[in-house]
Amino acid sequence: MRVKFLISLLAAAAGLSVLAIFVYTQRLGSQIYEPDNFFLTPFPSLVDPDSAPDLFHLPLRTSGRNIVNSRGERFKLSSVNWYGGSDLLFVPGGLDVQHRDDIARTIRSLGFNSVRLPYSDEMVMDNPMISPDLLLANEDLMGLRALDIYIAVAESLAEAGVAVIINNHITQATWCCGINLCDTAWYNNHLGPACRVSQTEEQWIKNWEMVMAAFINVPLVIGADLRNEPRGLWGTMPWKKWASAAERAGNRVLALRDDWLIFVEGVSSSNDLSDVKTRPIVLDIPDRVVYSAHVYSWSGWGSLEGMYAKRPFPSFVKSMNENWGYLLEHDIAPVWVGEFGGPHEPGAGDLHYWRNLMRYLKMVDADFGYWALNPRKPANYDNETYGLLEDDWETPILDYRLRDMIELGRQEKVPVYG
């Protein structure tokens, strides 16, 4: 009887704990998004695509928490992701709808000064021919292979006055990031035949050298984002392991051109840069390292306060500061929030996360890169609910997301921490 009583007592206690957590998270959910004056303000003006592009005063370098130009002036990255080169069709999206030069002009008209352009290792190693159906608006690219088309897109962006950050997004050409263990790190050869596309670290670095060699004489290709969301199995990638690999790759890239910026993402799907304080990235050439974080509404797992879609602002700030904000606050290094986004039709949790993130990005004046430009995903031509353009790859969706992107890019105030 005594044993049964203890078991019943423990079960009751466990039930109360679950109930308490449920009530707590529901309480947070009931207190999220409150409308503010944001939606009542006029939409900011777009940039005339025929106007002269801003001068970049290259080369760029880092100085404390900032990226600066050759004059020592802050150069804030106001970026957007243009994906497709890393996906199963091997080609940046939209080339069947608009000429790449026109898409580049549209990007500049939205106020972005830079693009993160992803590629897959499979694209580099296999370098397949691209179907003409994917290039209907770019007939001059028909008959070319994937890498040549990728290079042509980057060159069009540069010619339009848009800086380019080359990004190694994934090993196997597909949507990132699922549960495929073969794409959780920059190498996967230890998994043997389980991986359809297998590569060593050395192959990964050689792929980088092949891609970047094409841009040695393209000044507005400003850097290399070494790997998207290195995370290991269930977020177990040690920072020290990734940091050492990033240094080896970064030094090899800089041997090709020594004024590129080297972007190094955090572990745990790029959200965690907390170990940089004890193990920073050190390259052979100084003032080259920009750290990168990704922040989505579903991030923030592992805390009793739940995902960022439910966090009160003080808890959100605490998490951001611990993960990467301290690098800005203490003038250690630049941080580029290279991925974040929200849907066309946001729920309360989406808006709560967005409001907190915008408030924080304005508070610390961080560099940023929105995910994504694309209106459609490659697989099945599915709607990209995070996209900023209509299906014509020209008409912007004038909603809360683009409004905030424009305001962030034009922000001039000194950051305040608290």
Q: Helix (H) and strand (E) counts for the chain?
A: 10, 10
Contact 291, 239 (CB under 8 A): no
Cα–Cα distance for residue pair 295/167, rounded to 1 Å: 17
Per-residue pLDDT of the chain (418 residues; tens, 9 = 90+): 433 333 343 344 444 333 333 333 333 333 333 444 545 567 888 888 777 677 799 999 999 999 999 999 999 999 999 999 999 999 999 999 999 999 999 999 999 999 999 999 999 999 999 999 999 999 999 999 999 999 999 999 999 999 999 999 999 999 988 778 999 999 999 999 999 999 999 999 999 999 999 999 999 999 999 999 998 877 789 999 999 999 999 999 999 999 999 999 999 888 899 999 999 999 999 999 999 999 999 886 666 566 899 999 999 999 999 999 999 999 999 999 999 999 999 999 999 999 999 999 999 999 999 999 999 999 889 999 999 999 999 999 999 999 999 999 998 755 655 4
Cα–Cα distance for residue pair 389/325, rounded to 1 Å: 30
DSSP E strand stretches across 266-303:
289-294
The residues, any chain, with a CB within 8 Å of residue 190's CB and separated by 6 or more, are none
Q: What end-to-end distance do the CA atoms of the chain give, in Å?
A: 56
Identify which of 314, 303, 297 has the alpha carbon closest to the alpha carbon of residue 348.
Answer: 297
Buried b (16+ CB within 10 A) or exposed e, 84-120: bbbbebbbbbbbbbbbbbbbbbbbbbbbbbbbbbbbb
| Separation in Å, CA 372 to CA 252, 330, 341, 389 | 29, 30, 7, 9
Q: Does the residue 22 lie in any domain? A: no
What residues pair up with 62 in beta bridges, in sequence order? 67
Q: Does the residue 92 lie in any domain? A: yes
Q: What is the DSSP string of 96-118?
A: TTS-HHHHHHHHHHTT--EEEEE
Q: Does the residue 127 lie in any domain? A: yes
Q: Does the residue 10 lie in any domain? A: no
Cα–Cα distance for residue pair 51/179, rounded to 1 Å: 45
Q: Does the residue 49 lie in any domain? A: no
Q: Does the residue 351 lie in any domain? A: yes
What residues pair up with 266 in beta bridges, in sequence order? 270
β-strand pairing of 66-68 with 61-63:
antiparallel
| Separation in Å, CA 132 to CA 94, 136, 141, 150, 383 | 13, 6, 9, 15, 22
Domain range for 195 is: 60-410
Q: Does the residue 416 lie in any domain? A: no
Give me the CATH number covering residue 184: 3.20.20.80
The residues, any chain, with a CB within 8 Å of residue 37's CB and separated by 6 or more, are none
The residues, any chain, with a CB within 8 Å of residue 323's CB and separated by 6 or more, are 266, 271, 272, 273, 274, 293
Q: Does the residue 71 lie in any domain? A: yes
Contact 255, 283 (CB under 8 A): no
Q: How many domains does the chain have?
A: 1
- Please give the structure tokens belonging to residue 377: 């995903």
The residues, any chain, with a CB within 8 Å of residue 155's CB and separated by 6 or more, are 218
Identify which of 150, 141, 160, 159 has the alpha carbon closest to the alpha carbon of residue 121.
Answer: 150
